Every structure is written in structure tokens, then in C-alpha cells.
Structure 1
Amino acid sequence: MTSGMKNSVKYDDVSPALRVPPAEQKIGTPSRVWRIRADSWEFLGYALRQLSGRPSGPGATQESGLLGQILRATALLDSVEPYWAFPGPGVMKRLSGLIRAGLYQEALDLVDGIRARTWRPRPEQPAPGLSDSADVGAPEAAETAVERPRFEVLVVDDIPEHDGEALKSDMLAQRRPADAFSYDVNVVSSYEDALVALLLNADIQACVLRPGFAITASGPLGSDLRRFVSRYVEDGLERLRPIDRILRLAERIAELRPELDVYLVADVAIEGLAGSLTRRFARIFRREDRLDLHLSLLAGVAARYETPFFTALQEYSRRPASVFHALPISRGGSVGNSPWIRDMADFYGQNLLLAETSATSGGLDSLLDPHGSIKKAQALAARAFGAHKTFFVTNGTSTANKVVHQAIVAPGDIVLVDRNCHKSHHYALMLSGAQVAYLDAYPLDRYSFYGAVPLESIKKMLLDYRRAGRLDDVKMITLTNCTFDGIVYDPERVMAECLAIKPDLVFLWDEAWFAFAGFHPVYRRRTAMAAAARLEAQFRDPGYRLQFAEQARELVDPVTGEPAADEAWLGTRLIPDPAKARLRVYATQSTHKTMTSLRQGSMIHVFDQDFEQLNGEAFREAYMTHTSTSPNYQILASLDIGRRQAELEGFALVQKQADLAVSIAQAVARNPLLKRYFRILGARQLVPERFRETGYSMPLSQGLSDFDEAWRCDEFVVDPSRLTLDISLTGIDGDTFKHDHLMDKYGIQVNKTSRNSVLFMTNIGTSRSAVAYLVEVLVKLAESFETEKRQLGPRGLRALEARISALSSDPPALPDFSRFARRFRAGTNTDGNLRAAYFATYQDGATEYVDPAELADRVEAGQEVVSAGFVTPYPPGFPILVPGQVITGNALAFMAALDTREVHGFDPALGYRVFTSAWLAAD
């Protein structure tokens, strides 16, 4: 064996995707193609480097084995690369020819050039071996080495290959060195190929549709991809007129990648088509309008690239100015000449100081009264997230939630709210003076956290209020989508069925952890804004109205007009009356949690058909109430930038973050050592079976089609980018595992734990290296646990087994919300007045502290003891008690069993703060 063979890659070491005979190569799971494609090119470079440096002769057998792996890799790439403009069919043919001819060094040079241009930051220069390739969209000859963003344009047209190359060359000839962006062109021949390209190739930023394309994909598709694509391909497409096929494809593109610009190029009399097609296409051209098409492609991307406020802030920082108002730090005035704090400028940089200013400075607009760059930036964000309006918030979603509650809710209005929601909602409801009706989410007792609120529970509470004659008082419902632990609702179904009972109900969806979801076709359908848009379209559909009329005959007595028994309503998937239902939907998102933004950057998205008529003024006043008059302009600029990134590469980044999470879950499940101590919890553990039609536990690990099916059908699903790691078999509680093992030893940061679990989250910034490091750390920890166990004596082993048993067994059940004390309740329902209870504690003699043991004795003796404050343990992070709530033995037992370092609202030295019996008894 030669020295070169010592480092050669064995076939078994290659990605499983490559272990397929060339004749059977098909495109597999779309969510993994980005990784498989990169790995395949990397492997080719490695393997060709081995062959290029090896003398022929004695190593022929080994060379043959390595060559077989190379041929498998190229066969896989041959099935994938047609959906990318670069490197293109001409280069792929040349590469295959060089390999077959044994010209391995030339093949290596070609592969290195492809990899350099595709996966590394680079100036736009022809890569080695590519400069004479007209078919790959090589950069313009006149270009210099100036970096410009590059994207791909997908053309859908069934034309011969040589005509396709001529079409690409013709389009690329329009590019100029002065263009702000550059692009490559790829031509696919069919409806299905277009959908596949959009799923696989995140570089596509525009689509050009031309009449005459076929329906069926030109190559074989794997079963997962075939199943997913089939959901977007209607029967009978081949019988439609070309223009109707084009319209259907345009609609499907909008479903999959709504951020893309779609253009129509036709030879027909486009003047007659324009009026009926403008909603589906950015613009319509005749074939000879090459330059206008080129300029439109650039303008479309420029419209998404635009960042009005960030640009204005940059321009402001470059202007000379003398500051004679507040902010000594502005322009670095109080920093630059100081011998004591100049390290601040060294650390943060000069631009931060130059850009620090206030709303009184010209050209930068006011967040509280936007008319310029901020107003435009918010309008662009509304477009990106599918909202009617979007408002920027610079002090977090806690404030965003308070704004919406105050804008919608007046004192005395009833609000249905998940008791497990973020504490900002509870405080907002207290401030607003609402009558709060708490909904209980289903409990996950073993892991000491809640799931989500079943739709049946929501419907039952609304029907209870209808039966009590108080439904008109119910104003809003507040739910968390998705929860901290990744449980995701079906907002479309929830809103539809609630509106069937109360047509004017307002919805607040706390999507603090879900801002990224609007930029992936599967995730998007479970966002509040997308669900509202689909419902709005359904309400306009005559067929939907007929469905409602048919159901109404079953649920409403035709003679008396009275509704049928509640049981019938609970057992039916309700359809709202489209003539009465009003879509009033609000979503609050922590942009900084899951997208690119500085800390505390958040947004409020509004899809409210009655906003200006019923809520506009109140919303603006609430926004004024809770928004600082001195907002941080750096946060605003980062929100503008984050929106740009989401529109231009959000699809790729979200697909990557989900896929990387799946790779972690699979690593834990497949490693024999890791399985002894760890388990990733899937839907089967986190979502009870009655809420799952599909039965999938980790659907994305099986493929995009299963992922899509679960997210279409199941009442609750689990976000695959959230990984709840069960650590009970380690014998270590979650808080200790987080601090002592992950953070202190290895610098791995996590946000949430429970008594026996740790939550890992991938995000759009997660790298493959970070994933590999996490898996490596888990293996090291498992090895250390093995070593420690071997060194334990009988007593130590018994102690370890006792800890494992305690963490593996069910603790005291999570306490449901009990009830508000009668003094704070209105009527016979369960709602109570948080505001009255909260401010009652200000009265002298109204409250006292009681230690846990005495409190438990009082409750056990049957005395009604009422909490005077919020008691929120971290973890699990939800309020066990709220002001005015009757304390139960279940709540106290749960608190006693928790081993937490931080409990808000509980004083270890004094105990619980409760209302005195004398005060409660007084009038």
C-alpha cells in the first residue's frame, strides 16, 4: 500500500446517500440535500486528491475501489445538480469525462474551482477550469474582483438542450458590471421539476415561466420527494390550456416560496392577459423584452434587499455633525477623549458611537410617529411576514404583549388565556383590568412542564360562557405558539372553530419562539399570519359558504334558531359563518430569539380586518404607553437587517436548522453509549396520542413528506428544531446538568431545563461544527458516567440507582389552575379580576407571610387560603399561583418537590404571601 492510501476514504465512511448504485440514484429527502450535496463535492475533492497523487501499477486494486466511490458520488450529483445553475450540465459532463479518462489532476482542479465558488466567500472571478464555460453562467468578462451578492433565476420551459443553453446565454448577456447583483440562470422543463428546484435550491430568488413546459419531472424522484411534490400537482393538469397551467404553477410557487418574484414571458397578446394576471406575477413580458426582464430581476431582489432604516442610520453616521442636545455618547463625544473609558470604543467600535442618536435628529424618523424610514421598514416587514401591519418593538415581546392586551381589552372584558403562558401576559391582564379565564394545557407530569391547550377545552369554555349568557363579554383568547418546549398549535383550526362559536373573537398568538417559521413551506402553515390569510381566502370561497350552511342545519334548530346541545358542538369540527366571522389576529414575535436581531428586538404583526375601524386609535395609544421615547436605534436597524435576511435566505437557513436538529436526534438514537443515558423526546412523548392522527414521533427524520403530513393533520406537533433531552438515566437533575456539566465544563449554553430534561435548540446561526461538538460532548459525558459508575462501591451504586429512580418516576402532578376566590370572581364562571387582587395587596393589613409547613396545614384543614402574588419557579417557568387564586394542596406538593434555584414571588425566609383571613372576611 502506498503512503497515499493510508488516508483514503473507505466506502463505508461515505455518506449513506452515496451508497446507492448509480443506476438507482434518486433525489432523497429535500431537507438534507443541502448537506449531501456539500458532502459529495467535498468527498470528490478528497478522493480525487488521493488518486491524482498516486502512481499507477501496484495500487490498481485500491484505486479501483476508490474510483467506484467517486463514480457513485458523481452519479448522485448528476441527479441533484440539474436543479442548480452552477456548475451546470456542461461542467458536469466535462468532469465525468476527465474521471473516465483517468485525468484525475484536471478533474481535481475542476472540483476545487466548483467548491471555491459555491461554498466559500469569494470575489466573482472565474473559478479554475471554468472560465471558458458559457453554460455555467460564468461572471461577466469585464467584471473585476468585486464581491456582489449572487442569486439564481429559475426558468421553466420545455425546450431542447441547445435552445436552453442559448436562452441562458441570451439572458446572461444582459448583465453589466454596474449591476448591484449578479445571477446565474437554470432552465428546467416541467411543472414538477420547478417545484423540486424550489425545494432543493435556496439560491433561487426569481422564477420566469414560459408556456410549453411539461408536467412530469425529467428524472426519477425518491419516494419522500415524490410524495411531497404530489400534494402540489393536481390531476388533469395536462388537459389544461398552457396559460392555465402557468397560473397553477405560479400559485404553487407562492405557496412554497412566497418571497420569490415570479415573471411570465409569453408570445401571446399580453395586453389582454395583464389585467387578470397581475396578482400572480410581478410583471409580464414578451420574449424580446430581454433588458426589461433583466432589470426587473435585479429590481425584485433589490426590493427585498432594501433596508430603509439601516441605510438611513449608516448615512447619518457618515455625516459630520455637532451635537448640542442630549446623549453625550453621540458621535463618541464622551468616549473618544476619555483616558478612562476609551476601551468602550475599542470594544464596541466607532460605528456604534457614530450611529447613536435620537428621534430629534433629521432623517432618522421617530418610532412613535413614523413617517419616513421606520415607517417604510415596518411596511417591508409586514410584507415579509404576511401581515396587514407590523410594528417594531425595542424592549422585547414582554412589552409587545402588553401593547396588544391594552389595545384590545377594556376593564371587565373576559380574556381566555393559557395559564402556562409567559408571565408578561399575566401582568398585562392585571394592568388592563380584564376578567381572566385560565385555560389548562395538557400536563407532561414526568418532565414537569405543560404542553398546549386542547381545542376541546377552548370550545368547552366558550360554550360555557354562551350557556351562561356571557359570551358577548368574551373579547380575546391568548395562546403561545409555539411553546418554549416546541409544542405547536394548528392556528387555522383553532381560529376557525372558535369563530364558529364567537364570530368576533380576537386572537393573540404569542410566537416569541416562532418568528423564523414564516420562511419554510411546512412551518409557515402553522403561523398566525399564514393561517389568517388562508381563512380569509376560504371565507370568500362560495364552496366554503355551502359547507357552513350544511353544517348549520345540523347544529342549529331550524324552527327556534337555538343552537344544538353543547355535546354536538364539541364533537364536530366547526365551520364559522363566513358572512359574520371577522379575522382579528395579532402575533407577537421575539425576532432576537430565532432570527438576526439585537437583544430585545421584537415585532407585532397585525392581521385585523377591523383594525382602523375598531382598534387603530386604541392600539396607537397603547403603543405610546409602553414604548420608550428613547428607543435604541441599533435594535431598530437590526430588525430591518433581520427582515432582509429572512426574505433572501430564510428558507435555506430554516431548512438547515431543522435538518441539523434531526442529525443530533439521530446521533443520540444510534450511538450505543449515548442511548444508555440520553433520549430525545419526540411527539409520542410530548403529544398525547389523542391529538395525533399520523402517529409520527419525529416526522422530519423520516422525510419532508411525513413532516408535511403531520403538520397538516395533527392537532399538535413538535418543532423539530427543539430537542428535549431526557437525562433521567444519568441520575443528575436538569439544573445541575446545565450548569455543572454543559456550561462550566464545555461552554455549551442552554436556556431551559426541567427536573430531568434539558432543552437544546438549533437556530439559523447553528453550524455543523457546533452540532458535531455537542454530540462529542454528550459522548464524553457518557464516557465519564461510565467511568464513575465502575468506580462506585455498593453504597454509591445504590445511591445512584435511587437518584435515577427519583428522576425517572412521576413527581407530584402539575397543578391545574384551581379557581379565583369568590371576592375576585364575577358571575358563576371561573374568570377573575387579577387587577383587583393585585392592587388589594397595597392595603394595610391585607396580606401576611406564611411558611410552607403552616400553609400546608391550613389548606389540609379545609381553610380557603388565597395567594396575594405571582409565584413562578424557574424551571418550569409558569406561575403556579397568581393573585386572587385559591391555594391547593396539589400546588404546594408540587412546589415542595421542585428542586430549583430560582422562584419568583416566594421568599425562602418568610414563605408565601397570602391574603389575611380577616381581610377576606371584611366587606
Structure 2
Amino acid sequence: MSKRLTFGTNQGTATPESAWRKRKDAWEHLGYVLSEISSEYQEENRRQEHELEAGRLLGLLAAIEPYWANPGIEYFNEVSRLMSGGQYEDAMKLVYQANQTFRTLTQYVDLEGHEGAETDSLESGAASVSKGKLYIPMVEILLVDNGPTEEIERFKEEIVEQRQHTDPFHYNFVVVPSVEDALAAILINPSIQAVVLTARFDTCTRRRLSSTLKNFIARRMNGFFGSTKQIQGLLDLENILDDLRPEIPVYLIAGVALESIAHEITGRFRRIFSRNDRMDLHLSIVSEVLERYQTPFFNALQKYAKRPGGVFHAMPISRAGSVQNSPWARDLVDFYGKNLLLAETSATSGGLDSLLDPQSSIKKAHELAARAFGSHRTYFVTNGTSTANKIVHQSILAPGDIVLVDRNCHKSHHYSLVLAGANVSYLEAYPLNEHSMYGAVPLEEIKGRLLQLRREGLLHKVKMLTLTNCTFDGIIYDPRRVMEECLAIKPDLVFLWDEAWFAFAGFHPVYRQRTAMTVATGLEEELENEEYAQRYAAQKAALPEPGTSNQPENDQAWLETRLLPDPEKVRLRVYSTQSTHKTLTSLRQGSMIHIYDQDFALRNLNAFREAYMTHTSTSPNYQILASLDIGRRQAELEGYALVQRQVDLAQSVCRAMARNELLGKYFKILNSDELIASKYRESTSANPVRDGLAAWDEAWQNDEFVVDPSRLTLDISRTGVDGDTFKHEYLMDGHSIQVNKTSRTSVLLMTNIGTTRSAVAHLIEVLVKIAEELERKRRLDGRVLAMGKKSAKELIPLPDFSSFAPEFSGGGGSGDMRAAYYLTYQDPATHFLSSAQIRSELMEGQRIVSAVFVTPYPPGFPVLVPGQLVTLGILDYMDRLDTREIHGYHQDLGYQVFTHEAMAQLQPRK
């Protein structure tokens, strides 16, 4: 008989980024090891090796499993007991059952003897039926209670007894005794959908947490739990839980005198119960999860598609009418399925609602999205964030207003500003010439421009600041600091944060602190705080008067100080546009506009409605709307788990690069120290995520810029292949790996909530194959050769924005692109000149003014805009580009510029 297995309990818990993967792998690998041990053909030495490995796996699971309910610590202990007794086959069966549950995340109820179970459960929308069994989703509830074990077990049993087979999901309790354990569970276990607090808990854990988890928890607990009052301890724990996972409710079970404490904790807990309120607690848990599960428009669309009816209106394709029996179009039904066409309609009644005037299901879907994303109001957009940006700009800006804009923002902003007629003041991002890309706009640049406009007496014209958070390359701002310091200079400044690539960020505790809506909420709370008012008063007394055109030197102190806005004057007006379809679940072009505007009803409601009407189709795609509804539901119920997995998978690519010598020879993942200059970072870590959750959190709280760890910039400069060739000929054509953005020396790899472990493994395998081919060519030829038709040329300095021609100047470095844009309508105001012709005229002292946007892809931002002066530096950059796609440039004709005669008829603006 084999020796009994023993295992240590001194292994720390895994970090939140890796817990899901390590736990799943440990259970699956344990099943394999037990099957090997149980094999009668197992050699003794191999058997001993497998027993040692089983002991190691038990040690890992012993640290993680207490924070999960399914299969949970008791189930794990039974597996351990069987293994210690040498009953490996019985243990293997239990492990197999656990792994089956992991794969489905459901339990099933036999429908025999439960008439109506299928109908009742499916009405709730969460369950599914297969082969006579009703599959019920499983969630977990965190119970924080350090009372007697027997009492806790009795409480759990009495709650579970309230469950019915018609419940839309089932739940089990994870029980922890302390604050640190509660925070560890909420971070490690994304299946937790509610928290039940009792007044019986310790502060510190008796378990050994990993150092990174321990440090993160200590950071978040700092400043709390200093009071000896029991109620304050409960409020402190609720505060931290709300900060980490605001989407999940926190319930309180109070011992006695509920009425006497209710007034002290009003609004902090979802509901307060006595220990005897078993049924109400159960119903509250079920009801709240179902509230997040609601998809009012998707449900209405499903019901519409199931109803019989006749169409005597538009859309022959509605209900598959024009294609169902057509020998020439029937394959459309075969490919997409009947449901898509049954739901294709132009109806706005019968529960479907109107996107342009929502009163029922769409209105409710908007309200649920606003709750999920933390906004005052949320609006769905069915033709992309390009349109969302146009709506916001048009609703805020009028001709003559000045708007500060990152020059490298998406082209939709540039075109929006032409339509709005505002004067544009372009801000320069810091350049990364070595990598042929730009970073983000330093706060010093933004403040400096605002102070310049103030000195010139133009600050009253400044209406909005527009920035991209995060950038295409994953550079993320500190929105809190940007808004605080800009509002200190102009208290009514409106902010538009283009978060097209950042919709997922609101569902992770580290990411969330850099989202526009979260920051706006926090700023509003802080500005109402008396302690903040005192800090502002102290700063105001110390700062010199604002600089003037005669005394600009005073502004230096404003530039060097971390400014605080006047709480009596500030109006928080924050807008965020998000491409839900880019980083969350939605069909193509599904986007949202989130609004946190204290003056919306007073100053922007009507203008926004008109702008929304202007840019929104009267025939919106209902499938896109339904997918936005579903995407919001999924984000609220499993967003944290999906984002955590997304980051972990991205970091697994980094780890593979570090481990594989051949990959490291030709490729490199650029870290924070290569994408962000040290002056913009207080943290010293090149990769804070790699260094643990606490380092990640610290960097994201303190650094001016951070890098999204789910977006990997792959430096390919050592391959001898330019980014465009690498993307098309080797990744996409050669291996069917789709990427979007490249620079001359890099390729951007983005994980998302749909990325799988097998996809990451395939990517790594492909990169190894490419590296092997490069190595083979190097050995044959004695040097690294370009594998494609193009080779990487010397680096091209990225051009700065030159300036607007005086005829289109709006003051303070701003310009009127609208005037320049519409001047092209006058014939013959423009003509085409080649690069050589422009160079010749510039050398002769002539001015050349661009008439259109010129946007090369990559890098994807306008190098020239209407009304901008063309310079030799810009021509040098354009002439040395070998990109395939340049919008606004004609290969045969050259650049469209204004004629000297057209410019002569204009007067320079003062």
C-alpha cells in the first residue's frame, strides 16, 4: 500500500490575475495525476513521482479553495482524505465531478416530477433545458461571519431550504471569518454575486495570503478600521467592497435593535435583515441578481419575433418574407437563421420602443446601462463611436467656441469639429520616435495651453477638452488629475473622454479608477467634503495671481503646482463615448454615450436631443440594440472575471517571451519604461502588473500615464520587417491571426474578453515559427534578411502640428477648420501639387495651405488638416512613408492645397 500523502498549507494564495487559471489547471491536472496513480500498470518510481505531484497540487488548492463555494473546502477536504487513505480511484471520481462542474458552471434538476419547471425557469431567462434536464446557472454568495461553526452551518442550511426548483439560478455560500479573507475572496473569486455581512468578523486573516495579495489588501484597508465602534467597522468594510466590486450588493444581518441603527447606515447597504429573515434574504439575493440579468429590449425583441403577424409596411425582408421561399436568396436564411429575420422590423410599438424617443424597453435598457457604467444618463448608438463623438461635440460646441483636442485622436473628432464650427486648438502628445508612434498629451501641455488662452483673454471662449483614454496603443491618462487641474483654471470646462477602447475598464477595481464616470463620481463627492474646502483655501492663499500678457511669469507657479479647483465654482460636465463592440459583447457598431453632467438638464438636454436626432438613423438596427443590452448584462454579472482573465492571458504572452530565448532574440514586448518617459511615472517598475497586484494598483493611483496590460506592443524592429508587411503577409495571410494597428517597427496585439487560452497558445506558436524562419535565413545568409517585399527603413521623426494659416487662425493657437473646409467648395479655390512642387514653392518663400485632411494608416492621425500650413518636415515624413493607405492624398495628383489666389482674397484674423 502506498504511503499516505501529506501536503503543506504554507503556500500563499494565488494572485487574482492568475487564481482562475491556477485553480482550474490544478483540479484538471490532479485528475490526470490520480488516474496515473490508479493505473495498475504504473511503475513504482513513476507512481512516487505522481504522488509527490499530487501533494503539491493539494497544497496549491488548499490555499485557494477556501475562497470558493463550488466545489468548496469541504469537498476538497474529502478529496484530500481519500487520497491520504490511498483511495485514489474514489478521489479521482470526485475530482472528475468537480471538473465537469467547472466546464458548465451549472447544476441540473431532473424535470421528471416537476411539471412546469421548464416553463417557469425559462420565463426568468437564465436556465436552459437539454435532454430532459434543467440546467441552472450557479453563483456564489460571500458570507462574512466568525461565529460558531454549528450556527453558521445551520444558517446556511436554512437559507438553502428556501430555494425552489423554479429559481432561475442556484447559489452556495463562501464563508470567511475576517476582513482580509473577505477582500481576498472578492478579488480571487469572480463568481461571487452578493455579500452578506454579519457583525461577527475579525480584521486579520489566519491564513497565509500571497505577498502581492496581502500588500494590495493592506493598501485598500489603509485609513479604515481605526474605530472601535462596531457600526463603523461594518461601514468601512462595505466601503472597501463597494470600491472593489460596486456591481455586487452588500446585505447586512444585524443581531438586535435594527431600528436603532438603521438611521446610521441608511443608503450604505442594499438591505438590513435580522437573523430570522431567511426567506426575505433569499428572495433579495435572487431578485437582485435577476435585476442585473434583465435585458428589457432584448426580451421585447424575442417576444416580438415569436408572435405571428403580417407586415404591411417597409422592409420586405422582415419575417423573412422576401427570402424564405426565394430560390435566389434562400441562402441568407440558411446562413443567418430565421430568428435574425423574424426580429428584423421597423416597428416601434408592441414593446419594441423608439430609439429616438424611448419610452419603454429602450428607456429601461438605457437606465440599466447608466447604473452599470456609473453615469447620470446613458444612450445607445447603433452606428459606432464615430457617430457618438459627433453627437457629443455638436451638442456642446457652437461656432466660435474653442476646443482643446489631442491631434492624434480618432479622425471622427476632427470631422466633428468641422461640422460644429468650433475653433480647434491642437495639443501635442509626447513622441515615441524610436517606435514610430505617439504617446498621450502631458498635463503640462494642457495646462500651458489653458494658461496661454487665459493670458490672451480667450479663456471665456474655451468650451471643451477632448482626449482619448486609452489610446490605440494602450496609453491611459489619469482623468482625475487632468480634470482637477483643468477645472482649477476653467471651472466650467466640459470634458469628452473618448473611451472607445476602454469600455471594459469599469468592471475591474484597478482599471476602474481611471475611467471617466468613476472619476466624475469621486470628484463630486470630494468637492462636497469640508476637508477638501480647507485644502483649496490653503492653496488659493499660496498661489500668485494668474499671469497676464504683461506678466506671464506668474503662470509658472500654476504650471508647477498640482492645482485644486474651487468647490464653489466647479461644474462637473463629463462625457464618455465607448465602443462597446470593441472590448465588450456587442455586434459591430454598437456604442454608448455616458454622461455625468451636473448641468445637463439645464444647459444641454435639448441640444443633445437635437444632435442625437441629427446623427441617429430613424431605422436603427435592432440586433445591435439587443446586443448592447446583452453586453451590459454580461459585464455586470461576469465582467470582473472576464477582464481579469483577459489581463492574465496578455501577461502569459509576456512570460513566454521572457522564457523563450529565440523569441527574445527577434521580438520584445514594450514595457512602461519604453512607452512612458520616467518624468511621467512615479513608479519604477517597468511592468507593474508583472510585479503584482499591489504594484499595479500603486502605479495606477500615482503615475500620470500607465499602459493597459491587456494591450501588447510587439517590437519587431530586429526582424528586419516593417509592421505593415508583418501584419499582412505573416500574421494574417500566413497564419490567419488578425491584428489591427501597426507602426513601422511594431505590431499591436490586443487581448479581449473573448480571447481564449488556445488562441494565445496559437499566437505564441506562430511567433516561434516566424522566429525559427528568421533564424534559418540568418544562418544561411549570415545576416537578418527582410522576409517580405519591404524592409524597415531608418526611423522617421514624427512631425509636430505646424500651425494654422493666419487667415484661419482663431487665437491662442486655435484655428477655424470649418472655414477652410468649406472654402474648398468654391471653384477653383484649390489645386493639386506634388511633393516636389510644394518643396520648390516653400524654398521660394511661398506659403502652402492644406485644403483637406491627410491621414496615413498607420499611424492613423491627420498629418495635415484644412487650413494648416504645410512644412518641409511634414513632407519629409510623408515622402518616407511606405504605408498602403493614405486618406486625402492622391497617388497620381498629390496634395490638395489652396491656390495663392484663393488665399489672397482672405484677410488674416486678429
User: Do these two structures clear the TM 0.5 threshold for a shared fold by scoring above it?
Assistant: yes
1:607 to 588, 596, 603: 596
TM superposition shift of 1:557: 4.8
* Residue pairs, 1:459-474, within 5 angstroms: 459-474=447-462
The code of the aligned residue for 1:843 comes to Q
Structure 1 counterpart of 2:93: 109
Structure 2 distance, partners of 1:145, 1:275, is 47
Structure 2 counterpart of 1:200: 188
* Residue pairs, 1:315-334, within 5 angstroms: 315-334=303-322
The code of the aligned residue for 2:79 comes to L
User: What secondary structure, in the 3-state scheme, does the structure 2 residue paired with 1:763 have?
Assistant: coil
The answer as to whether partners of 1:556 and 1:564 remain within 8 angstroms in 2 is: no
Structure 2 distance, partners of 1:315, 1:800, is 58
Deviations 1:557-588 (A, max 9, x none): 59x9x998100000000000111111000000
TM superposition shift of 1:629: 0.4
**Taking structure 1 as reference, are residues 798 and 311 closer, same or farther at Cα in structure 2, changes over 3 Å only?**
closer
Structure 2 counterpart of 1:868: 851
TM superposition shift of 1:115: 0.9
Structure 1 distance, partners of 2:148, 2:540, is 55
Structure 1 distance, partners of 2:257, 2:431, is 62
The answer as to whether partners of 1:513 and 1:593 remain within 8 angstroms in 2 is: yes
**Mean CA deviation greater in 273-282 or 331-340:** 273-282
Deviations 1:161-217 (A, max 9, x none): 333322221211111111112111111101111111000000000000011111001
1:505 aligns with 2:488: no
Structure 2 distance, partners of 1:61, 1:806, is 55
The answer as to whether partners of 2:179 and 2:205 remain within 8 angstroms in 1 is: yes
The answer as to whether partners of 1:722 and 1:759 remain within 8 angstroms in 2 is: yes
Structure 2 distance, partners of 1:399, 1:922, is 35
Structure 1 distance, partners of 2:438, 2:636, is 33
1:909 aligns with 2:897: no
**Taking structure 1 as reference, are residues 25 and 399 closer, same or farther at Cα in structure 2, changes over 3 Å only?**
same
* Residue pairs, 1:429-508, within 5 angstroms: 429-508=417-496
The code of the aligned residue for 2:880 comes to A
The code of the aligned residue for 1:545 comes to A
1:886 aligns with 2:875: no
Structure 2 distance, partners of 1:203, 1:599, is 28
**Taking structure 1 as reference, are residues 349 and 687 closer, same or farther at Cα in structure 2, changes over 3 Å only?**
same
Structure 2 distance, partners of 1:873, 1:238, is 57
**Taking structure 1 as reference, are residues 802 and 285 closer, same or farther at Cα in structure 2, changes over 3 Å only?**
closer
1:417 to 392, 400, 405: 405
The answer as to whether partners of 2:370 and 2:376 remain within 8 angstroms in 1 is: yes
The code of the aligned residue for 1:853 comes to A
> What's the RMSD between the two structures over aligned residues?
2.1
Structure 1 counterpart of 2:113: none
Structure 2 distance, partners of 1:683, 1:813, is 21
Structure 1 counterpart of 2:26: 40
* Residue pairs, 1:750-899, within 5 angstroms: 750-792=739-781, 797=783, 806-807=792-793, 809=794, 811-827=795-811, 829-899=812-882
Structure 1 counterpart of 2:218: 230
User: What secondary structure, in the 3-state scheme, does the structure 2 residue paired with 1:237 have?
Assistant: coil
**Mean CA deviation greater in 314-323 or 238-247:** 238-247
The code of the aligned residue for 2:657 comes to V
TM superposition shift of 1:88: 2.3
Deviations 1:60-105 (A, max 9, x none): 3332221111111111111111100122232222111111111110
Deviations 1:328-371 (A, max 9, x none): 11111111111110000000000001101114443210000000
TM superposition shift of 1:669: 2.2
Structure 2 distance, partners of 1:337, 1:55, is 62
Structure 1 distance, partners of 2:218, 2:576, is 32
Deviations 1:20-48 (A, max 9, x none): 98253111322111111011111100100
**Taking structure 1 as reference, are residues 236 and 472 closer, same or farther at Cα in structure 2, changes over 3 Å only?**
closer
The answer as to whether partners of 2:395 and 2:604 remain within 8 angstroms in 1 is: yes
Structure 1 counterpart of 2:267: 279
Structure 2 distance, partners of 1:874, 1:340, is 39
Structure 2 distance, partners of 1:257, 1:802, is 48
Structure 2 distance, partners of 1:916, 1:563, is 38
User: What secondary structure, in the 3-state scheme, does the structure 2 residue paired with 1:863 have?
Assistant: coil
Structure 2 distance, partners of 1:821, 1:770, is 50
The answer as to whether partners of 1:172 and 1:185 remain within 8 angstroms in 2 is: no
Structure 2 counterpart of 1:246: 234
Structure 1 counterpart of 2:122: none
Structure 1 counterpart of 2:645: 656
1:518 aligns with 2:506: yes
Structure 1 counterpart of 2:298: 310
User: What secondary structure, in the 3-state scheme, does the structure 2 residue paired with 1:215 have?
Assistant: coil
TM-score for the superposition, normalised by structure 2: 0.94
1:63 to 29, 47, 54: 47
Structure 2 distance, partners of 1:28, 1:693, is 27
Structure 1 distance, partners of 2:773, 2:483, is 50
User: What secondary structure, in the 3-state scheme, does the structure 2 residue paired with 1:565 have?
Assistant: helix
Deviations 1:753-797 (A, max 9, x none): 1111100000000000000000000001111111222222x6xx4
Name stretches of at least 5 consecutive residues in structure 1 with no aligned partner: 1-19, 127-138
Structure 2 counterpart of 1:183: 171
TM superposition shift of 1:243: 1.6
Structure 1 distance, partners of 2:804, 2:669, is 38
* Residue pairs, 1:111-126, within 5 angstroms: 111-120=95-104, 122-124=106-108
Structure 2 counterpart of 1:132: none
TM superposition shift of 1:555: 1.1
The answer as to whether partners of 1:694 and 1:710 remain within 8 angstroms in 2 is: yes
1:380 aligns with 2:333: no
Structure 2 distance, partners of 1:710, 1:804, is 39
The code of the aligned residue for 1:901 comes to R
**Taking structure 1 as reference, are residues 596 and 801 closer, same or farther at Cα in structure 2, changes over 3 Å only?**
closer
1:730 aligns with 2:713: no
Structure 1 distance, partners of 2:514, 2:303, is 39
Structure 2 distance, partners of 1:217, 1:779, is 44
The code of the aligned residue for 2:708 comes to D
The answer as to whether partners of 1:330 and 1:356 remain within 8 angstroms in 2 is: yes
Structure 2 distance, partners of 1:53, 1:821, is 82
Structure 1 distance, partners of 2:762, 2:473, is 22
4+ runs deviating over 4 angstroms: 798-807
The code of the aligned residue for 2:78 comes to R
Structure 2 distance, partners of 1:814, 1:557, is 37
TM superposition shift of 1:218: 2.6
Structure 1 counterpart of 2:536: 548
The code of the aligned residue for 1:440 comes to E
The answer as to whether partners of 1:860 and 1:889 remain within 8 angstroms in 2 is: no
**Taking structure 1 as reference, are residues 717 and 886 closer, same or farther at Cα in structure 2, changes over 3 Å only?**
same
User: What secondary structure, in the 3-state scheme, does the structure 2 residue paired with 1:22 have?
Assistant: coil
The answer as to whether partners of 2:428 and 2:800 remain within 8 angstroms in 1 is: yes
The code of the aligned residue for 1:812 comes to I
The code of the aligned residue for 1:784 comes to E
User: What secondary structure, in the 3-state scheme, does the structure 2 residue paired with 1:813 have?
Assistant: coil
The answer as to whether partners of 2:805 and 2:849 remain within 8 angstroms in 1 is: yes
User: What secondary structure, in the 3-state scheme, does the structure 2 residue paired with 1:760 have?
Assistant: strand
Identical columns (%): 57
**Taking structure 1 as reference, are residues 438 and 860 closer, same or farther at Cα in structure 2, changes over 3 Å only?**
same
TM superposition shift of 1:326: 0.5
Structure 2 counterpart of 1:161: 149
Structure 2 distance, partners of 1:46, 1:204, is 28
User: What secondary structure, in the 3-state scheme, does the structure 2 residue paired with 1:277 have?
Assistant: coil
Structure 2 distance, partners of 1:805, 1:320, is 61
Structure 2 distance, partners of 1:71, 1:318, is 55
Structure 2 distance, partners of 1:696, 1:892, is 38
**Taking structure 1 as reference, are residues 188 and 280 closer, same or farther at Cα in structure 2, changes over 3 Å only?**
same
Name stretches of at least 5 consecutive residues in structure 2 with no aligned partner: 1-5, 111-126
User: What secondary structure, in the 3-state scheme, does the structure 2 residue paired with 1:913 have?
Assistant: strand
TM-score for the superposition, normalised by structure 1: 0.93
**Taking structure 1 as reference, are residues 648 and 591 closer, same or farther at Cα in structure 2, changes over 3 Å only?**
same
